[in-house]
Amino acid sequence: MTRPIDPKRRRLLAAGAGTALLGVPAFVRSQAATVKIGFPVPLTGAFSAEAQDQVRAAELAVKEWNDAGGWNGAKCELLVRDDKLNPGEAATRTLELIEKDKVNFVVGSLSAATQLSINAVCRDRKIIFNSISQSDTINEAKDWSLYTFHEALNPHMTAGAVARYAFPKFGKKVVYLTADYAYGHEMVRGFQRAGRAFGTETVADIRHPIGTADYSAFLPRIQQAKPDVLVLCNFGRDLVNSAKQATDFGIKQSTKIITPVLLFTSRLAGGPDAFEGVMGGTSYYWAMEDKIASAKAFNDKFRKAYGGAVPSDYGALGYAGIRSVLQAVKNANAVESQPVAIALRQLKYDWYKGPQFYRKCDHQSVQSIIIVESKSKGMKDKNDVFNVLHIEPADEKNLRTCDELGHKVST
Amino acid sequence: MELTPQLVSLQLVTGVALGAVYALLAIGLSLIFGMLGVVNFAHGALFMVGAFLGMYFLGLTGNFWFSLVLTPLAVGAIGLVIERLLVRPLYGRGIDYPLLLTFGLSWVLIEAMRVAFGIEGIPSSTPPALRGSVDLGVGYFPLYRLFLIGATAAIVTLLWLFIEKTRYGLIIRAGSRDPEIVRVLGIDISRVWLAVFGIGCAIAGLSGVLAAPTRAVNPEMGIPVLAESFVVTVVGGMGSLPGAVVAGLLVGIVFALTSLVAPDLAELSIFVLMALVLLIRPYGLFGKAGYMG
């Protein structure tokens, strides 16, 4: 699949490159002509809608940085690759990006498994990788390196925030319907851990293969168990299908359906009926712009660049992931991994959702978590899909401790 | 978890509803294979096109029943074009020629839907008259899935009547046994093949529009469905219509019951079933030797 190229952007880039060549002395030009960022994301596969939005938002961050003059006349180039949601493919593409295309940094990924394989490749070659999808493992000492950064939320943070909000309100008997891979397992652990404080009881944890289209065979059992809360620990189209079918089976009559990550794109694809009353967490929802100035600024830029469209949650992560790295290049006044990594560690930023920073011990971005509920009536337009119930502010204490993750040095 | 009789019964009904879609899909595949010897790898994609067109016609007319009639006609028409322009030149060559052609075609159809409707797919909704769930005495079951079982039974009955009781059905049956003799009797067999391919595709489209309200409609939705319907066809016997129905229900029930006791193994279970059936009956439950030769 080819990436749509915005002709306007192309002209701008060409014009930008032209002026850069004219205005910059020859010795600087030969030193660093471009800052290359590899961007492996699953353009094909179940999460393609989210991945395409990540690309759009990442390109926006690149354009913004280039328009502001880049660094020492060097412009940024984004090299988008399709990892097909496959860890092997992701590793191969990343290796190519580093060895053949000579990228300076890697930002991307949209699954727990692909980000770990991308991270392994980058770590061995001392290339900074800023991951924009959820994983707990990537924070842990065995997978971590000085060059590993995690822009996205992780399952522990997301599930924790949703659990802290939902369990006291809706009850103690919990059934999990879980996609059988790292993401699902980590989410269940996150909920169970946060649930302990409220005395929740796991009635069942039903595992389904990733990419299941029909969940009906799992639902009679859940119906019979009559839990207070059904947690759908799955993602993308899996979430759409399982929420829709759980609704058809009348599960909502006696059970509140919650999900760790309720995505804007999933809700658009699933429609209001399937998600009616479903509650979940997200890293970003565009309507936060009423309260948060940086969200408003980011949305406006995105709307202007993409014909009035609003950015999705994962899209916004693509923007932030790139923007952090490019800001660190400027701050460090270098493109080498080590000084840029140090600059990233010192970065305090507010790109789109309020103040954020990377925790020193594991480079997890400490950030706010938004609890939303799907709307089914009174929507103003097609993008008006959630009510924001609560914003849990950024707080290090909602993360697992550095010791727990196995990091010996805690600062 | 407690395996109460209620739960097992409800799970059985779930399996039958799942099996209904499998059976419909396998009938279309089997019909085309039994008659034309074409292994149609575009079947899953035609199912997907059916789901998209079904939701599109629903949006256009606001009436699910219209959509239920229009969609198979439209997908059937696509089938006619595919047979006449693409598959027909390959008759008389090896079985792998049309297989590769239809495999490629499935990607063309997927890409076409991405271009036409976007990569995210479109939301699908259950027709208002069929929403909600009904108490079966053993638990609540979605009304729409009951309708699915009924609709499949009706379609299978109509198809059976058509093939067994009408003059055209007689020609189709004769044509699948011995095309040479049918030709000698003065019947243009290529027109029969065209019609059968069209009917097979129309049934794929119909299963798509029937399945659409139960799941998200997206360009890739036909890919897993293709694998499942091949399992059903192989279990039932390539080319056998009763085989397709029996195997469809069997696969649905095996999947549902395995989901109850060992959800992790549910996906595997249907392949284990296929392996077991092939060990005992290499041509499937209702199959005849020699088709794949």
Q: Does residue B125 or residue A293 have the better pLDDT?
A: A293
Nearest CA-CA distance, residue A199 and chain B, Å: 20
> Would you call A250 and B125 a contact, using CB atoms and an 8 Å cutoff?
no
- For residue A44, is it within any domain? yes
Nearest by CB to A221, which of B7, B144, B225?
B7
Strand ranges for A288-355 from DSSP E? 348-349
- For residue A404, is it within any domain? no
> Would you call A217 and B260 a contact, using CB atoms and an 8 Å cutoff?
yes
How far is the C-alpha of A406 from the C-alpha of B16, rounded, in Å?
Answer: 50
Burial of A333 (0-12, 13-18, 19+ CB in 10 A): exposed
Residues A348 and A272 in one domain: no
Structural domains in chain A (count): 2
Cα A328 to the center of its chain, rounded Å: 20
Residues A164 and A248 in one domain: yes
Mean predicted confidence (pLDDT) in A312-330: 96
Asked if residue B240 lies in contact with residue B277, where contact means CB atoms within 8 angstroms, the answer is no
Query: Which chain B residues have a beta carbon less than 8 Å from that of A241?
Result: 215-216
% residues pLDDT > 90 (chain B): 64
% residues pLDDT > 90 (chain A): 72
> E strand or H helix at A107, and its extent?
strand A105-108
Give the pLDDT band (50/70/90) at residue B137: confident
Burial of A96 (0-12, 13-18, 19+ CB in 10 A): middle
How far is the C-alpha of A298 from the C-alpha of A85, rounded, in Å?
Answer: 28
Quick check: A309 contacting B, CB < 8 Å? no
Tokens 């959630």 sit on residue: A386
Residues A219 and A306 in one domain: no
Nearest by CB to B18, which of A180, A216, A265?
A216
SS3 label, residue A366: strand
Asked if residue A94 lies in contact with residue A309, where contact means CB atoms within 8 angstroms, the answer is no
Q: What is the pLDDT of chain A when averaged over all its residues?
A: 89
| ipTM entry | 0.86
- For residue A217, is it within any domain? yes
What is the b/e burial string over A214-223, where b = at least 16 CB atoms within 10 angstroms of the residue's CB?
bbbbbbbbbb
Structure tokens at B19: 């099996």
SS3 label, residue A354: coil
pLDDT score, position A409: 61
Query: Which chain B residues have a beta carbon less than 8 Å from that of A248?
Result: 126, 133, 142, 144-145, 214
pLDDT score, position A160: 94
pLDDT score, position B290: 52
Strands A386-392, A348-349: parallel, antiparallel or unpaired by DSSP? unpaired
Q: CA angle, A236 as apex, A232 and A242 as ends, to 5°? A: 40
Q: What are phi and psi of A102, to 5 degrees?
A: 55, 50
- For residue A353, is it within any domain? yes
Nearest by CB to B133, which of A48, A180, A250?
A250
> Would you call A269 and B221 a contact, using CB atoms and an 8 Å cutoff?
no
Residues A273 and A338 in one domain: no
How far is the C-alpha of A355 from the C-alpha of B287, rounded, in Å?
Answer: 66
N residues, chain A: 411
pLDDT score, position B204: 97
Nearest by CB to B256, which of A217, A225, A250?
A217
Residues A166 and A47 in one domain: no
Strand ranges for A209-330 from DSSP E? 229-233, 256-261, 279-282
pLDDT, tens digit, 9 for 90 and up, residues B88-134: 999 888 889 999 999 999 999 999 998 998 877 888 888 888 988 88
> Would you call B1 and A221 a contact, using CB atoms and an 8 Å cutoff?
yes
Say if residue B288's pLDDT is above 80: no
> Would you call B120 and A265 a contact, using CB atoms and an 8 Å cutoff?
yes
Asked if residue A137 lies in contact with residue A155, where contact means CB atoms within 8 angstroms, the answer is no
Q: Does residue B178 or residue A282 have the better pLDDT?
A: A282
The nearest alpha carbon in chain A to B22 belongs to A214
Say if residue A26's pLDDT is above 50: no
Q: What is the pLDDT of chain B when averaged over all its residues?
A: 91
The nearest alpha carbon in chain B to A251 belongs to B140
pLDDT score, position B266: 87
**Of B208, B29, B193, B45, nearest in space to B111 by CA:** B45
pLDDT score, position B293: 36
- For residue A2, is it within any domain? no
CATH code where residue A226 lies: 3.40.50.2300
- Dihedral of CA atoms A160, B263, A180, B148 in degrees, nearest 10, equals -90
Residues A30 and A138 in one domain: yes
The residues pairing with A349 across neighbouring beta strands, listed in sequence order, are A356
- For residue A351, is it within any domain? yes
Asked if residue B236 lies in contact with residue B284, where contact means CB atoms within 8 angstroms, the answer is yes
Structure tokens at B154: 């009706």
Asked if residue B83 lies in contact with residue B194, where contact means CB atoms within 8 angstroms, the answer is yes
pLDDT score, position A28: 42
Residues A380 and A359 in one domain: no
pLDDT score, position A2: 47
- For residue A132, is it within any domain? yes
Nearest CA-CA distance, residue B121 and chain A, Å: 6
Give the strands of the sheet with A75-82, arranged side by side.
A75-82, A34-41, A105-108, A128-131, A148-150
Single-letter residue type at B4: T
% residues pLDDT > 70 (chain A): 91
Give the pLDDT band (50/70/90) at residue A6: low
Cα A225 to the center of its chain, rounded Å: 33
Say if residue A196's pLDDT is above 80: yes
The percent of chain A in helix, strand and coil, each rounded to the nearest 5, is 45, 20, 35
pLDDT, tens digit, 9 for 90 and up, residues A351-386: 999 999 999 999 999 999 999 999 988 888 889 999
Residues A391 and A251 in one domain: yes
Mean predicted confidence (pLDDT) in A24-46: 73
pLDDT score, position B177: 81
What are the distances in angstroms from CA B135 to CA A257, B37, B147?
A: 21, 44, 14
Give the pLDDT band (50/70/90) at residue A402: very high
SS3 label, residue A312: coil
Give the pLDDT band (50/70/90) at residue B4: confident
Residues A71 and A54 in one domain: yes
Nearest CA-CA distance, residue B99 and chain A, Å: 23
pLDDT, tens digit, 9 for 90 and up, residues A120-176: 999 999 999 999 998 888 999 898 999 999 999 998 999 999 999 999 999 999 999
Q: Does residue A21 or residue A387 have the better pLDDT?
A: A387
The nearest alpha carbon in chain A to B3 belongs to A221
pLDDT, tens digit, 9 for 90 and up, residues A260-278: 999 898 888 888 888 988 9
pLDDT, tens digit, 9 for 90 and up, residues B188-211: 989 999 999 999 999 999 999 999
% residues pLDDT > 70 (chain B): 98
How far is the C-alpha of A249 from the C-alpha of A93, rounded, in Å?
Answer: 42
Residues A83 and A120 in one domain: yes
Strand ranges for A110-212 from DSSP E? 128-131, 148-150, 173-179, 201-208
pTM: 0.82
SS3 label, residue B138: coil
Mean predicted confidence (pLDDT) in A231-250: 90
Nearest by CB to B17, which of A216, A244, A250?
A216
Mean predicted confidence (pLDDT) in A45-71: 92
Residues A264 and A179 in one domain: yes
Nearest CA-CA distance, residue B34 and chain A, Å: 28
pLDDT, tens digit, 9 for 90 and up, residues B25-83: 999 999 998 888 899 999 999 999 999 999 999 989 889 999 999 999 999 999 999 99
Residues A230 and A345 in one domain: no
- For residue A312, is it within any domain? yes
What's the sign of the alpha-carbon dihedral B210, B214, B220, B223?
negative
Domain carrying residue A314: 7-153+289-366
